[in-house]
Amino acid sequence: MYTSFYRLSGRPFQLNPNPDFYFGARAHKRAMAYLTYGLHQGEGFVVVTGDVGAGKTTLVAYLQRALAGERLFVARVLAAEMGPRDLLHAVARALGIAVTSDEPAVLLAAIERDLEARRARRQRVLLVVDEVQNLPLASIEQLRVLADLERDGRPLLQIVLVGQPQFKETLARPELEQLRQRVVASCHLGPLDEDEVQAYIEHRLRKVGWSGDPAIDLAAYREIHRATGGLPRRINLLCSRLLVYGALEGLHRLTAEDVRIVEAELAEEQSGRESEAAVPPPPEAGAGSAPLEERAAARPAAAAEAAAVAFDDSPTYWRQEVERLQRKLESLYEEVVRERHRYDEAREEAIRLREELHRREVEQLRVDAETARRLADLMSRFADMKRRGVFGRLWSKS
């Protein structure tokens, strides 16, 4: 494996968004500033747009982590071409609400009750809708209805809309005028500049213990920027394959020529895939291999790594599998987050109940003490009256 060859503690260029690898490029820092401002308003919509692979999901995940200590519950929905009713179902699931009805009014009422209960526990709720450009106008309007939910004049929900650049055109349509008026912050993530590409790559490498092996020429960084257009996900794809190539060739310095070789291999694989059927048959025994596979076969120790990257990072995998697996990963991530929040809420409720029980026990002890004091006072007065013969005089008079 290239991680062993280069003595790295992990794989630095995985495709799945990971806030641990967040890189504060200029555009990302500016976006973070707008997002933070918008979220501190506590109402309306915050809009984040950017090209595929620009780092939108990673940015939101990083922001979610940064706000973790602010009693904030984040519900995430991965948008598809769903109508308003299906969208309400998705929001309810993200909030952990079990609703069997398909009636929009029932769904909306259940969501509102849950939000009011969270508000009573002083918990803010942030709904993140990813790939929002896939939603029809009616569903986007349904999000506005959700954002209008309030209690005592204060909104119960704030919504972050994350989408590709075409969503800005959708948002400009006359039908969404009311929603546009509720946008408190908006930002766009563009590609990394050429000088940022080197910093981005070295940042991710250092996260896994890189100390200069492999060395990467300045010209190689320029080639990576040219080949990827500065989009982080494309950079991850290319650099992952570049490290595999370097390990297979036994290289401790990567050059611009090495980048061009790997870029050509990726382009060849992609063009080959485009010329094949959607589900190609398995290769026959003795069939020719791609250049990377041939080198892997010549180096058995690296064969497993080549196979892993062919599955995980190749253009074939990217085009055929990554979107499906990304949705699955995000669904699992959402479930883990929901379970964690349920645990946190249950723990907070247990602490609240324990404090309430302690308060009641203290109050009961105070009441018992007061009752005992009054009883003792009455007994004392009774004994005094008996000693003075009060009861005898009262009896003789009667």
Encode pLDDT of 83-101 as tens digits: 999 999 999 999 999 888 8
- Please report which helix (H) or strand (E) contains residue 116, including its range: helix 104-120
Structural domain boundaries of the chain?
2-16+193-275+290-313, 26-191
- Going by pLDDT thresholds of 50, 70 and 90, the confidence category of residue 8 is very high
Encode pLDDT of 128-161 as tens digits: 998 999 899 999 999 999 999 988 888 999 999 9
Residue with tokens 């998705």: 90
Q: What are phi and psi of 263, to 5 degrees?
A: -60, -40
Query: Distance between CA atoms of 159 and 142, rounded to whole angstroms?
Result: 12
CA atoms within 13 A on the CB side of 69: 1
CB neighbour list of residue 144: distance below 8 Å, 6 or more residues apart: 176, 178, 179, 182
Least Cα distance to 195 among 167, 172, 225, 217 occurs for: 225
pTM over 0.85, yes/no? no
- Going by pLDDT thresholds of 50, 70 and 90, the confidence category of residue 309 is very low
Q: What is the CATH number of domain 26-191?
A: 3.40.50.300
Amino acid at 6: Y
Query: Percent helix, strand and coil across the chain, each rounded to 5?
Result: 65, 10, 25
Residue 230 and residue 191 in contact, taking contact as beta carbons nearer than 8 Å: yes
CB neighbour list of residue 26: distance below 8 Å, 6 or more residues apart: 193, 196
Residue with tokens 């790559």: 201
Residue 307 clears pLDDT 50, i.e. is over it: no
Query: Distance between CA atoms of 220 and 241, rounded to whole angstroms?
Result: 14
Residue 316 clears pLDDT 90, i.e. is over it: no
Q: What are phi and psi of 238, to 5 degrees?
A: -70, -45
3-state secondary structure 304-327: HHHHHHHHHCCHHHHHHHHHHHHH
